[in-house]
Amino acid sequence: MAADFSFKRKHHVTSPRTNQRPARIARWTVLFIVATAMMMGYFVNDVMSPLETLLEAPRSEGGLGWSPADYGFFSGAVRSFSLPSSALK
């Protein structure tokens, strides 16, 4: 049995650069979506945080009458935007 020392390609191999471009675009797209969702979550939380006293004030005083549990639920829901990013770490 003779050894095969031919340098011909036996299989067509695609260039890694052509396959890398869609993966690179997908990674940047996912990063942009996650970063935007986190930024908006923090922005909403920062905007609503100073309004906590107004939200929890009774309706008779011009507030919305939220209980501390209602505000906590809202704040927790806003923070859920950061969960996907913590899963990616």
Half-sphere exposure (CA, 13 Å, Cβ side) for 16?
Answer: 0
pTM: 0.50
pLDDT tens-digit series, residues 25-75: 899 999 999 888 888 878 887 888 888 888 899 999 988 899 999 988 888
DSSP code per residue over 6-65: --S-SS----HHHHHHHHHHHHHHHHHHHHHHHHHHHHHHHHHGGGHHHHHS-GGGTS--
Long-range contacts of 65-71 (CB under 8 A, 24+ apart): none
Nearest to 52 by CA among 38, 37, 69: 69
pLDDT tens-digit series, residues 1-15: 556 555 555 555 555
74, 45 in Cβ contact below 8 A? no
What local confidence, expressed as pLDDT, does residue 82 receive?
Answer: 62
Place of tokens 């806003």: 78
